[in-house]
Amino acid sequence: MALYSEKVMDHFRNPRNVGAIEDADAVGEVGNAKCGDIMKIYMKIEDDTIVDVKFETFGCGSAIASSSMATELIKGKKLSEALTLTNKAVTEALDGLPAHKIHCSVLAEQAIKSALKNYYIKNNIEYDKTVLPDDIECAHCHEEE
């Protein structure tokens, strides 16, 4: 069996939704240069729906593939749906990731949550602090310290 699935390789070689959105309604960034992976996600939101989403990721192929797949999974979704996206769903959509690369899918989930929290705060919208805590960050990065 290959280390990476065809879907991982496709999203790494041909990432979807790459770039920045200059007038984004929401921006989330997670990661740590020391860890090696940094993800930044930009969203345009209209009527409680993510109408456009782009990402910039500095990291390995799994991080790029996870970012690409995560953006595909939330584009066109209601904010409440995007908020429920898990790293497991990202990993499954990619037909799996090696165990030592699962943190890349976690980073994608956390970047989305960070962007949604940014949106709620900028627009004075109440949100569940148990779902979007104050410290949305890369747990893997802290393991490395």
Whether pLDDT at 135 is above 90? no
Instruction: Give the range of the structural domain holding residue 75, as residue numbers without chain letter.
Output: 6-122
Residue of 60, 104, 138, 141 marked active site: 104
38 three-class SS = strand
Q: Is residue 133 part of a domain?
A: no
**Which of 133, 144, 140 lies closest to 105, judged by CA?**
140
Whether residue 2 is predicted with pLDDT greater than 80 in this model: the reply is no
Read off the pTM.
0.89
In this structure, is residue 48 part of a structural domain?
yes
Of 35, 60, 138, 141, which residue is the catalytic one? 35
- Do strands 37-46 and 49-58 pair parallel, antiparallel, or not at all (unpaired)? antiparallel
57: CATH: 3.90.1010.10
Inside any domain, residue 132? no
Exposed/middle/buried for residue 55 (C-beta within 10 Å: 0-12, 13-18, 19+) = buried
Residue 145 falls within a domain, yes or no?
Answer: no
Residue at 36 is within a domain: yes
Residue 136 within a domain: no
* DSSP helix/strand/coil, 16: coil
Binned at pLDDT 50, 70 and 90, residue 141 comes out as low
Residue 129 resides in a domain = no
Torsion of CA 23, 68, 89, 136, to 10 degrees: -50
Overall domain count for the chain: 1
List pLDDT tens digits, range 29-45.
998 777 678 999 999 99
Buried b (16+ CB within 10 A) or exposed e, 29-46: bbbbeebebbbbbbbebe
Residue 104 is a catalytic residue:
yes
Tokens 């956390």 correspond to what residue? 110
Active-site residue 35, yes or no?
yes
Q: Is pLDDT of 47 > 80? A: yes
